[in-house]
Structure 1
Amino acid sequence: MKRTYENALKLLQTRRRTARPKGAAAPPPRDAASTPATNTLKGVPSLVGMKEWLQTLGHSDRDINRLNIVHIAGTKGKGSTCAFTRSFLHAHSRRTGFPSRIGLYTSPDLRCIRERIQIDNQPIPEELFTQYFFEVWERLQPPDGASQPRQPRYLQFLALLAFHTFIRENVEAAIFETHHGGEFDATNVISRPVVTAITSLGMDHLDQLGPTVQDIAWHKSGIFKPGALALSVPQEAGLVEVMDKRAEEKGTKLRIVPPNGSLPKNNRVLSIPVQRLNCLLALEIGRGFLQQIAPGHEITAEDIAHGVDNFSWAGRFEVLVDGDSQWFLDGAHNTLSLEQVAEWYAKNVTAQRCRVLIFSHFNEDRDGVALVKNIAQALTKHNARPEYVIFTTYDEREDGSTRIDKNLKEPETPFPDYRTIYSSLWNEIDPQAAVSSESTIEGAIKAALEIGHRNGGMQVLVTGSLHLVGGALNILRP
Structure 2
Amino acid sequence: MDQITRILDRLLALHPKEIDLSLGRMHRLLDALGSPEKRLPPVIHIAGTNGKGSVTATLRAILEASGKRCHVYTSPHLVSFNERIRLGTDGKYVSDPVLFDALQRCEEANGGEEITFFEITTAAALLLFAEHPADVVLLEVGLGGRLDATNVINEPLVSVITPVSMDHEKFLGDDLTVIAAEKAGIIKPGVPVVSAEQDPDVLKVIERQAARNKTRVDVFGQDFVSQLDQGRMTFQDEDGLLDLPQPVLGGSHQFANAALAMAALKTTGLLPDEDVISTGLKSVNWPGRLQPLTHGPLVDMCPEGSEVWLDGGHNPGAGVSIAQFMGEQEERAPRPLYLIAGMLTTKDPSGFFRPFDGLVRHVGTVPIATTNTARSPEELADLARCAGLEATPFPSLDAAIADVAACAADDGEAPRILICGSLYLAGEALARNNMAPD
**Shorter-chain-normalised TM-score: which range?**
0.7 to 0.9
Please tell me the residue identity of whatever aligns with 1:364.
Answer: T
Structure 2: state its 5+ residue gaps.
227-233, 236-243, 296-303
State whether residues 333 and 361 of structure 1, in contact with CA within 8 Å, keep that contact through their aligned partners in structure 2. no
For residues 46-125 of structure 1, the aligned pairs below 5 Å read 46-60=22-36, 62-64=38-40, 67-93=41-67, 99=68, 101-120=69-88, 122-125=92-95
SS at structure 2 position matched to 1:196: strand
Q: How far apart are the structure 1 equivalents of 2:36 and 2:13?
A: 27
1:301 is aligned to 274
Correspondent of 2:261 among 276, 282, 297: 282
Q: How far apart are the structure 1 equivalents of 2:198 and 2:384?
A: 37
2:324 is aligned to 343
Quick one: structure 1 residues 477 and 447, their matched pair in 2 at CA, closer, same or farther if it must change by over 3 Å? farther
State whether residues 69 and 193 of structure 1, in contact with CA within 8 Å, keep that contact through their aligned partners in structure 2. yes
1:138 is aligned to 108
Correspondent of 1:212 among 175, 181, 184: 175
2:246 is aligned to 266
State whether residues 307 and 416 of structure 2, in contact with CA within 8 Å, keep that contact through their aligned partners in structure 1. yes
Q: How far apart are the structure 1 equivalents of 2:426 and 2:2?
A: 31
Aligned-residue offset at 1:61: 5.0
Correspondent of 2:97 among 124, 127, 140: 127
Range that drifts further, 340-349 or 280-289:
340-349
State whether residues 104 and 119 of structure 1, in contact with CA within 8 Å, keep that contact through their aligned partners in structure 2. yes
TM-score by length of 2: 0.82
SS at structure 2 position matched to 1:12: helix
Aligned-residue offset at 1:155: 0.9
Aligned-residue offset at 1:451: 6.7
Please tell me the residue identity of whatever aligns with 1:442.
Answer: D
Aligned-residue offset at 1:267: 6.9
TM-score by length of 1: 0.76
SS at structure 1 position matched to 2:119: helix
String of CA shifts for 1:352-381, please: whole Å, max 9, x gaps: 67444232244434453454444234xx2x
State whether residues 106 and 177 of structure 1, in contact with CA within 8 Å, keep that contact through their aligned partners in structure 2. yes
1:165 aligns with 2:165: no
Q: How far apart are the structure 1 equivalents of 2:2 and 2:347?
A: 39
Please tell me the residue identity of whatever aligns with 1:76.
Answer: N
Quick one: structure 1 residues 165 and 451, their matched pair in 2 at CA, closer, same or farther if it must change by over 3 Å? farther
**Fraction of identical pairs, as percent:** 23
State whether residues 76 and 201 of structure 1, in contact with CA within 8 Å, keep that contact through their aligned partners in structure 2. yes
Aligned-residue offset at 1:63: 0.7
Correspondent of 1:410 among 372, 396, 407: 372
SS at structure 2 position matched to 1:188: coil
Aligned-residue offset at 1:112: 1.8
1:330 aligns with 2:311: yes
State whether residues 46 and 156 of structure 1, in contact with CA within 8 Å, keep that contact through their aligned partners in structure 2. no
String of CA shifts for 1:309-338, please: whole Å, max 9, x gaps: 211212112122239443211112222211
String of CA shifts for 1:40-80, please: whole Å, max 9, x gaps: xxx6x42113233112112355313xx21100111221111
1:145 is aligned to none
Aligned-residue offset at 1:447: 4.9
Aligned-residue offset at 1:139: 2.7
Correspondent of 1:318 among 271, 276, 291: 291
State whether residues 451 and 458 of structure 1, in contact with CA within 8 Å, keep that contact through their aligned partners in structure 2. no
1:9 is aligned to 8
SS at structure 2 position matched to 1:189: coil
Structure 1: state its 5+ residue gaps.
21-42, 94-98, 142-147, 292-296, 396-405
State whether residues 367 and 375 of structure 2, in contact with CA within 8 Å, keep that contact through their aligned partners in structure 1. no
Quick one: structure 1 residues 92 and 19, their matched pair in 2 at CA, closer, same or farther if it must change by over 3 Å? closer
Quick one: structure 1 residues 285 and 424, their matched pair in 2 at CA, closer, same or farther if it must change by over 3 Å? closer
Q: How far apart are the structure 2 equivalents of 1:367 and 1:185?
A: 22
Quick one: structure 1 residues 85 and 418, their matched pair in 2 at CA, closer, same or farther if it must change by over 3 Å? same
SS at structure 2 position matched to 1:444: helix
Quick one: structure 1 residues 161 and 75, their matched pair in 2 at CA, closer, same or farther if it must change by over 3 Å? same
2:340 is aligned to 359
2:420 is aligned to 463
Aligned-residue offset at 1:122: 3.4
Quick one: structure 1 residues 440 and 60, their matched pair in 2 at CA, closer, same or farther if it must change by over 3 Å? closer
Quick one: structure 1 residues 438 and 268, their matched pair in 2 at CA, closer, same or farther if it must change by over 3 Å? farther
SS at structure 1 position matched to 2:225: coil
Correspondent of 1:444 among 400, 404, 411: 400
Please tell me the residue identity of whatever aligns with 1:269.
Answer: L
Quick one: structure 1 residues 16 and 344, their matched pair in 2 at CA, closer, same or farther if it must change by over 3 Å? farther
SS at structure 1 position matched to 2:263: helix
- Two-structure CA RMSD over aligned residues (Å): 3.1
1:30 is aligned to none
For residues 113-262 of structure 1, the aligned pairs below 5 Å read 113-120=81-88, 122-141=92-111, 150-258=113-221, 260-261=225-226, 262=234
Aligned-residue offset at 1:340: 1.0
Q: How far apart are the structure 2 equivalents of 1:420 and 1:414?
A: 10
1:475 aligns with 2:437: no
State whether residues 49 and 163 of structure 2, in contact with CA within 8 Å, keep that contact through their aligned partners in structure 1. yes
Please tell me the residue identity of whatever aligns with 2:262.
Answer: L
- Based on CA coordinates, which of the two structures has the bigger radius of gyration? 1
String of CA shifts for 1:252-308, please: whole Å, max 9, x gaps: 222223362325343752541x2211110111112233x2xxxxx641212222222
Please tell me the residue identity of whatever aligns with 2:379.
Answer: Y
Aligned-residue offset at 1:350: 7.1
Quick one: structure 1 residues 303 and 158, their matched pair in 2 at CA, closer, same or farther if it must change by over 3 Å? same
Q: How far apart are the structure 2 equivalents of 1:254 and 1:446?
A: 50
State whether residues 3 and 134 of structure 1, in contact with CA within 8 Å, keep that contact through their aligned partners in structure 2. no
Aligned-residue offset at 1:197: 1.0
Aligned-residue offset at 1:12: 2.6
1:368 aligns with 2:367: no
Range that drifts further, 366-375 or 307-316:
366-375
SS at structure 2 position matched to 1:327: strand
Q: How far apart are the structure 1 equivalents of 2:202 and 2:335?
A: 43
Aligned-residue offset at 1:18: 4.0
